[in-house]
Amino acid sequence: MAILVTGANGQIGTNLVRLLREKYGRDQVIASDIIRSDISTPPFLMLDILNVQRIREIIEDREIDQIYHLAAILSANGEWNPMKTWNVNLNGYLSILQISVEMGVKRVFFPSTIAVHGKSTPKVNTPQYAPMDPSTVYGMSKIAGENWSHYYHQRYGLDVRSLRYPGIIGYDSMPGGGTTDYAVDIFYQALEKGRYTCFLKPDTRLPMMYMPDAMRATMELMHAPSDKITIRQGYNLTGMSFTPEELAAEIKKHIPSFEIDYHPDFRQKIAESWSESIDDAQARQDWDWQPQFDLAAMTRDILEELGESKFKSGGR
């Protein structure tokens, strides 16, 4: 089995490549990205997802039979250049789908997002099937990608699998310009400076998930028997829901002197267009999804991993 990961240098790719290599062996997992960075460990190939010929060459040369297609421009960064975001997120994905069919790639993973939701989507316990009127070009490109996933499965039998990730929080890779990035940054600032200025209002509730749960969900979905997969768009998925003030209160339990203030920017409007909590009953029913980390467990784990003890003894 040879696996290609696009956008592998990103927040999720860093973790996913590590996990896939542990499972399948280093040489079986080809990491790729538009840029090379410190974390680009071999086998690594440069790949701009808009370079269709290069995608074909890699799939042929490396005999790729599974693709984890992570390359994308996220919600906040996407608003700075809508046309480029549409092109990378949607046209890049269409190339992956079409080439996969032509070249016999067996399985494709497409990460969707809570950004597919919009003002008319029910905000609390958002059901799997609900009105979707995204407010960002990122969300527009992801809901279009979901529909194309469904189409390629129906029409060509391509085994596409997809999750609507909530905001993903990890401690060993940096987020790439999304609206939920505060929930990662806050931990670093708490440890380094003892304070944080949040770009969302204190009561902005969003669905979130700790990285280990996100990785496990991805693996469980990708390894589920095909007949268990009843949804080819994106499965609703959630781990927890919290607000910045609730996260700050949890961090304060470990770092009592921690302080937070709030200076909302353009990301507030994006966050307000998304759901507050998600109903992921279908994932639980189809492939036994069950999150393990709540807010308290995640906060404890991140602070331990990032070196709370070092902080207490004088900083990182």
Instruction: Decide if residue 239 touches ligand NAD (CB under 6 A).
Output: no
Binding-site string for ligand SER from residue 9 to residue 48, where x marks contact by CB under 6 A and - marks none: ----------------------------------------
92: left (phi over 0), alpha (psi -120 to 50) or beta: alpha
Please, what is the minimum distance in Å from the beta carbon of residue 149 to ligand SER? Answer: 16
- The residue (of 48 and 255) whose beta carbon lies closer to ligand NAD is 48
- Given 24, 93, 129, 138, which residue is catalytic? 138
Q: Which two tokens stand for residue 232?
A: 């080819």
Piece in contact with ligand SER (CB under 6 A), picked from 2-10, 20-28, 119-127, 175-183: 175-183
**Are the C-beta atoms of 176 and 234 separated by less than 8 Å?**
no
Instruction: Decide if residue 8 touches ligand SER (CB under 6 A).
Output: no
Which position has the token pair 């998925």?
237
Quick one: how far is CA 170 from the chain centroid? Answer: 11
Which residues partner with 195 through β-bridges? 259
Number of residues that bind ligand NAD (CB under 6 A): 30
- Reduced to 3 DSSP states, what percent helix, strand and coil does the chain have, rounded to the nearest 5? 45, 15, 35
- Which residue has the closest beta carbon to ligand SER? 178
Identify the residue among 47, 58, 137, 200 touching ligand NAD (CB under 6 A).
47
Distance (Å, whole) CA 66 – CA 3? 5
- Beta-carbon contacts of residue 228 (< 8 Å; ≥ 6 apart): 286, 287
Distance (Å, whole) CA 316 – CA 302? 14
- The residue (of 167 and 190) whose beta carbon lies closer to ligand NAD is 167
Identify the residue among 85, 180, 218, 233 touching ligand SER (CB under 6 A).
180
**Partner whose binding site includes residue 283, from ligand SER, ligand NAD, none (CB under 5 to 8 Å by kind):** none
Which parts of this chain interact with ligand SER (CB under 6 A)? 74-75, 113-115, 167, 178-180
